[in-house]
Amino acid sequence: MKIYLSRPGVFSAAGKNAEELWKSLLNGDQSGIKRYETFSGSTFFAARIDENALQPSTGRFDMKIIRIEEAALDQIGSIIEKAKSKYGEKRIAVCVGSCDNGTEFSLAGHRKYFENGAFPEDYSIEMQGADYVSTFIAEKYSLKGPACTFSTACSSSAGAIIKAAELIRSGLCDAAVAGGIDIASDTTLDGFASLEAISDRITNPFSKNRSGITLGDGAAFFVLSKEPLDDESPAVTLLGYGESCDAHHMTSPDPSGVGAKKAMEKALSSANIKPEEVDYVNLHGTGTKFNDSMEAKAVDAVFGAYKVKCSTTKPITGHTLGAAGALELAICFAAVTNNALPPQIWDGVFDDEMPKLNFVNKNDNLYQTKICLSNSFAFGGANACLVIKKEE
């Protein structure tokens, strides 16, 4: 069974819709990344969305993560309604990847608790429920199918999209709203700083001079369905997917890249294609020493002498954590529908200790692009890879 993808609804610091994001990527525009000070007094580069660009949400709890989520969803609202009309509200699932459990309300509520000995009257523990990012979508569009939230760190939304496809193929539903949403909250920034994973400069993935990640806010959502529903975009299918869990370490990937390699191989097998049929790989490419090294080894092992074109887009979007898989799939969607590829934005200094990859150059990015692979590799070795194809 083919699984069709609608055009994505996207909201990020690099663009408030898919078209703006694509323009930023092609131009190498890093203006969405700025330096911020957290509540701890530490300062970090981050791709945070300006709150002035957001409207109050229609949800029961109005917080930044829901405002961003709704801004992305509104871009595909007509397709969601079309799916409802075609299949019925009980036959549409919701699958969301996210790692933030209402930190905005949690921090404010606990601050008041420690000051006054009581939570604010409008505080509810439900605000911190992992389910709310998916429950909100079900409530907003009156969807009655399964509503699930997935939290596997940086592969969360890639996993959510896989589970949405499996729900459709199983016959449990006919369509699904699937994607991810996450924010680079103060808690997240300080947490990653404690792991010594954040770069003191804008991230510089795969360079010998790389020094860590740059975090960011972001959301991206699709409607997945067993028939094409989007009349405004070329037909694009989720051709295949693969997952693995190497469980090497809580926060560090297996340095050999064996888990990443296995996920890519499963994705290609699921898609029934050979490595040389892939036109582009969107790398996970976080800019940390260990991630980039193991991913370069894995890509080299899978694609071998066929030097597939690739790049990481996190130097423009920031690492959007649980939303990264969906956001980067949206970038792959733009690549196949625009016949162009996003360039690698870095200092160009290769690390001789890892295999050289065939990066897309900024002045050489027009290609006949039909099939793309997107990598998402997370804490705990929770790996997920997605393959999409522009249909004839």
Catalytic annotation, residues: 154, 284, 319
Q: Structure tokens of 125?
A: 């523990």
d(CA 122, CA 120) in angstroms, rounded, equals 5
**N-term to C-term CA, the chain:** 17
Look-up of token digits 């690698």: 344
The partner residues of 93 in beta bridges, in order of sequence, read 176
Instruction: Give the CA angle between residues 167, 383, 189 to the nearest 5°.
Output: 110
Can you tell me whether residue 159 is helix, strand or coil? Answer: helix
Q: Structure tokens of 122?
A: 């409008």
Q: How far is CA 362 from CA 18, 61, 210, 388, in A?
A: 19, 42, 19, 23
Backbone angles phi, psi at 55, to 5 degrees: -95, 150
Number of other residues whose CB lies within 10 A of the CB of residue 106: 18
